Amino acid sequence: MTDQTTAPATPGPALASARKGTGPTPRDLAARAASRETADHRPAGDAEQARPRPGSAPASGAPASGAPASGAPAAATPGAGDRAREPGPAPGTRMTGAAALVATLERLGVDVVFGIPGGAILPLYDPLFDSPSVRHILVRHEQGAGHAAAGYAQVTGRPGVCMATSGPGATNLVTPLADAYMDSVPVVAITGQVASSLIGTDGFQEADISGITLPVTKHNFLVTKAEDIPRTVAEAFHVASTGRPGPVLVDVAKDALQATTEFRWPPVFDLPGYHPVTRPHSRQVREAARLIAAASRPVLYVGGGVIKAGASQELLELAELTGIPVVTTLMGRGGFPSSHRQNLGMPGMHGTVAAVGALQKSDLLITLGARFDDRVTGKLDTFAPGAAVVHADIDPAEISKNRRADVPIVGDCREVITELIGAVSAEQQQAGHRADLTAWWSQLDAWRSTYPLGYGKPDDGSLAPQFVIERIGKIAGPDAIYVAGVGQHQMWAAQFISHERPGHWLNSGGLGTMGYAVPAAMGAKVASPGACVWAIDGDGCFQMTNQELATCAVEGIPVKIAIINNGNLGMVRQWQTLFYNKRYSNTDLGDRKNELDGTRIPDFVKLADAYGCIGLRCERKEDVDAIIEQAMAINDQPVVIDFIVHKDAMVWPMVAAGTSNSDIKFARDMAPEWETSE
């Protein structure tokens, strides 16, 4: 760690704009602080590619103080009316660095922060105590703060904010930052650091959190001077929410928080080289439209980038214009309505047979905001062997990383799809009709009807976990927000809940973080207090972060939590059953003797009660609806339901790791007959 004013990490890939929430976002407010790049100062070749997204603040290459360099943007100046409405102290006021940081958060429109105080960050907590607009939610573990900030961001489309002190407080944020990085979630983490004179001396509670998080953040900063705090924090919000969203860490030395400075607003950004491309190249879009017009077995392969770009409506228009089937990845669920006839479901390891078969047999993949990850492709060199690929993504590093793109398109998904609609319409007008996909749909419908999603009834009369999750989805409905942990329950929630709205399905997709659901649901509920928020968690995942039930109870955050309790690490047990000869090494979470005596370790109902929540238990199918409806009627306390389910239920369909998608099984030892069904 170097002792300098700001020590930024190497910037990560350029990121898709976050889905817009209601009202002005921090990015909108930060636009006042940004420099405005004019066409006169932009190189001629960049005029189209570098056009900023509406509401975004163009990054500046200008120095932090003084006149901007030639060709660099000039600082924006709010009008008198804007200045009168801005919260916090007036520019020019003398204050501590900590007070300047709080004032910056207020100016950026931050309304909530999740965190835990400690020695190095304590100077920041003092002025935060007096903020009239920033609510602080005291979590019980820093990991909970990070996941809660991510849940908030997923629902609002604005950066979620978390805070922690130096050393172990900061290192406890590593997992949620890595999780947000993998799933492109805009999070700003503010950590306290030991005084600048102690950096590098192995001082008490010192950790090089900038170095530690370098691989798992989009960008990070070390701030050692009070005067640099407003600019750096504003830059962090800008970087987190523009391009491809992602987490940004701001590590602030304790003496910078304690020093006195003059609050300057708006600041001038100092982000040389950061110019995410949002507008696609029109020639590439036209080429994609030509391929679509010529294809006989096309598929729209849709990922989470469509949701983050706020492009769900445009996707619906494109799909209906072309009649092309749609598959939505785990992160893309809700980006296209599950109930729409053209939606074939989720592809990949636990995708539907129709979705997996469509990709394998397609002649053209129109890939929008997806990254060809291994859980979708299976054995990569066998994936969609006959397909040409159009790949549109805001992040140029993703294009051709795993699968070569025949038509690469760098740009924001909403802008790409909007232009693609125009180009496809022009192709159809020229041809006098749209492509005939009758034969293709006949094949897809045959797979869909022959191999639908389903599940069996347990022989011992116990609850089927799929039934429980399906009933939660039916009773809570499509307007609820569903947050899943990681494992079997996550896959069943993706499969058996109808995801009709963007931003209503949250899960840890890339990192697969156990313990994600409870704190992320807490953040989602804070983001949307009027929404019904269900966390669907496994008994293993739940025990990793269930201490945040205390936070929910104390802070008045009435989430609803369904524990799918099979007494095991379910997905690991499934793999042990299928691939390790039923050798169940260390996956049984219970104590058989105690269970026979009627004792449960832990007793989740008692645990919920101890945390100030309502605890319920359900063991019979005939009681499921009544228990869910009872939970739905409670809106002033968190509710925890312990659903005791069959321990050997499995997730099907399944593509075994490292095998071809063509080898998918729709049940154990049962594979679709691709050739005879064609």
| Residue 89 confidence (pLDDT) | 80
Flag the least confident range among 42-56, 309-323, 399-413, 439-453: 42-56
- The strands making up 135-138's β-sheet, listed across from edge to edge, are 135-138, 112-115, 160-164, 187-193, 248-253, 219-223
Average pLDDT over residues 603-607: 97
In the chain, where does the domain assigned CATH 3.40.50.970 lie? 26-34+54-64+93-262, 465-644
398 is catalytic: no
Distance between CA atoms of 5 and 420, rounded to whole angstroms? Answer: 45
What is the 3-state secondary structure of 190-239? EEEECCHHHCCCCCCCCCCHHHHHHHHCCEEEEECCHHHHHHHHHHHHHH
| pLDDT of residue 289 exceeding 70 | yes
In the chain, where does the domain assigned CATH 3.40.50.1220 lie? 282-450
Distance between CA atoms of 372 and 187, rounded to whole angstroms? Answer: 24
Model-level pTM?
Answer: 0.87
Distance between CA atoms of 571 and 32, rounded to whole angstroms? Answer: 49
| Residue 91 confidence (pLDDT) | 80
Q: Which CATH superfamily is 26-34+54-64+93-262 part of?
A: Thiamin diphosphate (ThDP)-binding fold, Pyr/PP domains (3.40.50.970)
| Furthest C-alpha separation in the chain | 79
Average pLDDT over residues 430-454: 93
| Residue 483 confidence (pLDDT) | 98
Compute the C-alpha angle 343/349/351, nearest 5°.
Answer: 20
- Summarised one tens digit per residue, pLDDT across range 629-650 is 999 999 999 999 999 999 999 9
Angle subtended by helix axes 624-632 and 465-476, to nearest 10: 40
| Residue 598 confidence (pLDDT) | 64
560 is catalytic: no
Distance between CA atoms of 56 and 41, rounded to whole angstroms? Answer: 18
| pLDDT of residue 17 exceeding 60 | no
Tokens of 133: 């607009």
| pLDDT of residue 457 exceeding 60 | yes
The CATH number that domain 465-644 falls under is: 3.40.50.970
Flag the least confident range among 79-93, 419-433, 535-549: 79-93
Q: Are 453 and 345 in contact (CB under 8 A)?
A: yes
Catalytic, out of 37, 106, 142, 314:
142
| Residue 600 confidence (pLDDT) | 82
Average pLDDT over residues 261-287: 94
Q: Which CATH superfamily is 282-450 part of?
A: TPP-binding domain (3.40.50.1220)
Q: Are 618 and 563 in contact (CB under 8 A)?
A: no
| Residue 18 confidence (pLDDT) | 34
Q: Are 50 and 274 in contact (CB under 8 A)?
A: no
Tokens of 153: 């961001």
Q: What is the DSSP letter of 478?
A: T
Q: How confident is the model at residue 678 (pLDDT cuts 50, 70, 90)?
A: very low
Q: Are 280 and 50 in contact (CB under 8 A)?
A: no
Flag the least confident range among 75-84, 200-209, 251-260, 651-660: 75-84
Q: How confident is the model at residue 675 (pLDDT cuts 50, 70, 90)?
A: low
Catalytic, out of 218, 254, 308, 525:
254
Q: Are 370 and 302 in contact (CB under 8 A)?
A: yes
Give one word for 581, left, alpha or beta, with left for phi > 0 and alpha for psi -120 to 50: left
- Summarised one tens digit per residue, pLDDT across range 135-174 is 999 999 999 999 999 999 999 999 999 999 999 999 999 9
Catalytic, out of 4, 48, 204, 457:
204
| Residue 90 confidence (pLDDT) | 83
Catalytic, out of 346, 522, 571, 654:
571
3-state secondary structure of 263: coil
- Summarised one tens digit per residue, pLDDT across range 337-352 is 999 999 999 999 999 9
| pLDDT of residue 250 exceeding 50 | yes
% of the chain exceeding 70 in pLDDT:
85
Tokens of 241: 């929410």
Distance between CA atoms of 650 and 466, rounded to whole angstroms? Answer: 9
254 is catalytic: yes
Tokens of 235: 């830059």
| pLDDT of residue 49 exceeding 80 | no
What is the 3-state secondary structure of 287-343? HHHHHHHHCCCEEEEECHHHHHCCCHHHHHHHHHHHCCCEEECHHHCCCCCCCCCCE
Average pLDDT over residues 431-438: 88
Q: How confident is the model at residue 596 (pLDDT cuts 50, 70, 90)?
A: low
| Residue 84 confidence (pLDDT) | 39
Tokens of 13: 């890939």
Catalytic, out of 205, 258, 547, 637:
205
What's the mean pLDDT when you consider all of the chain? 87
